[in-house]
Structure 1
């Protein structure tokens, strides 16, 4: 397995950090990973290597306002001055097209975790013909609260400043996520039952930061947008979709929101939607105490879809 890291320039001139994993054995497919909020693609290194060992070419990038992309241009927790959610979705298209340019790669499978799953859901509403399958990890359903949050975030951006970290929106978004954890040791215990993984997150200077007012305005706008029936109807009906989540994940409303998304996709006409809820797991199922179980479920699903 060979790992290559580089920066790719987008159509607006900004450069995004990209990591690619080249398998040494038979090439089975191409998987592109979209990381979540207040983290970076480097946290998926272990799983990317697992996939590469299985024969998959794996690529991933740091979104704007995250990871090494924020070091090159911009700041942590800020997408763009205008239409930030649309811009990060467009980035996925441009990054993957550049990665695949002049390469003989199989059709792409898109994997999105948490915020990355929201970006992935918008991507397939716009570009579903460019991928073979979709995996949504730790996703959730849009609610009336996201619409209210969007109005609050926009007011804060206009009155307090777009680039200012939004402690209020951060508290409104994540303040209750530890409520189901018995005797939590940290404010991030809702991420995983593995205390070592939680501590890694806490110790990482590129994780756990507070997003800006404009960032929360962009994210809440995006969640509301992708939840509209007319937008869901834009996804091609034969796209295979796997939704995976922990039963104790507050982002997916402890499973309720995950099944709601699956139901919405089915009602929109999608013919192949599968849900797998992992009992007892929290938000970051790839970093859970029994993460090998998650690896195996994804592996089986990938093998099944490749036979279709």
Structure 2
């Protein structure tokens, strides 16, 4: 799957592992921010597309995820995760100073990336949100109203119309298959509110990708958050029939083409 390098940084709660897909003299740097319970290794295909397009790609495993340190899927403060991603950006810029940076976040990674753009937007050339957990996401409130959070695993069929995607997800030992943890759900709820009140990202170019059959992060709720976040420079691509992981969907070639077209516009504009 191409040359991959691994870095270990000292994050807010111990070592975090970063995967780099290098590119000599890159046009831009792509920071890929993964979602809840998964890890950066699930983004090899989009990373390959980005490298072919001219990017050097850096993708961390968040605290408590993948090969990084910490109790599994425990995130008590997403501001700390944003800080960890900023460390990754500093690493990328130290390798390639002066090169523009695109931040690409999926699902929970979309929440982290939205907050990152509110805090560090002046350091970014572009923001891409895929199935982002922002806006009116009802799950945290529903779970926090219960005495005990149920052990209800994510349905693999909710990820993609391609059954091989769900099968690989279920077999992946670095994916968390247990219940959500109350402190993490509480952190989700707080950060959703923080992002909603945090203001827009000005003229930062924003691309929103979403499947209209996303059962994990419904389209309508995310739209509320995207419209609050955008400063008016918004491109949206909604895919009929697609589920949560549009980069792993049966129409992924279309999704990648939209992503590359957007990034070309940013880099040449």
TM-score normalized by structure 1? 0.80
Aligned length: 267
Give, in angstroms, the shift of residue 103 of structure 1: 3.0
Contact 1:146/1:221 (8 A) holds in 2: no
Gaps of 5+ in 2: none
Contact 1:22/1:52 (8 A) holds in 2: yes
Q: CA RMSD in A?
A: 2.2
- Residues 1:126 and 2:91 aligned together: no
Give, in angstroms, the shift of residue 104 of structure 1: 2.8
Q: Partner of 2:16 in structure 1? A: 16
Runs (4 or more) in structure 1 with deviation over 6 Å come to none
C-alpha separation in 1, matches of 2:62 and 2:26: 27
Q: Deviations over 1:173-217 (max 9, x none)?
A: x78xxxxxxxxxxx3211110001100000112223323221111
Judged with a 3 Å threshold, the aligned counterparts in structure 2 of structure 1 residues 144 and 276 are, in CA distance, closer, same or farther, namely closer
Q: Deviations over 1:11-58 (max 9, x none)?
A: x4611000111125x522111000000100000012101211121111
C-alpha separation in 1, matches of 2:95 and 2:106: 28
Q: How does 1:273-284 map to 2 (within 5 A)?
A: 273-284=234-245
Judged with a 3 Å threshold, the aligned counterparts in structure 2 of structure 1 residues 150 and 218 are, in CA distance, closer, same or farther, namely farther
Judged with a 3 Å threshold, the aligned counterparts in structure 2 of structure 1 residues 144 and 197 are, in CA distance, closer, same or farther, namely closer
Q: Deviations over 1:122-151 (max 9, x none)?
A: 111111111111000011443384673585
C-alpha separation in 2, matches of 1:147 and 1:77: 15
- Residues 1:38 and 2:37 aligned together: yes
C-alpha separation in 1, matches of 2:111 and 2:138: 16
Contact 1:21/1:59 (8 A) holds in 2: yes
Helix, strand or coil for the counterpart of 1:227? helix
- Residues 1:264 and 2:231 aligned together: no
Helix, strand or coil for the counterpart of 1:58? strand
Contact 2:27/2:55 (8 A) holds in 1: yes
Query: Which of 249, 266, 269 in structure 1 is aligned with 2:214?
Result: 249
Q: Partner of 1:136 in structure 2? A: 129
- Residues 1:227 and 2:196 aligned together: yes
Contact 2:134/2:195 (8 A) holds in 1: no
- Residues 1:215 and 2:184 aligned together: yes
Q: How does 1:145-184 map to 2 (within 5 A)?
A: 145=138, 148-149=141-142, 152=145, 167-168=149-150, 171=152
C-alpha separation in 1, matches of 2:191 and 2:262: 28
Gaps of 5+ in 1: 157-165, 176-186
Q: Partner of 1:238 in structure 2? A: 203
C-alpha separation in 1, matches of 2:103 and 2:225: 17
Query: Which of 110, 122, 129 in structure 2 is aligned with 1:117?
Result: 110
TM-score normalized by structure 2? 0.90
Contact 1:29/1:105 (8 A) holds in 2: no
Helix, strand or coil for the counterpart of 1:27? coil
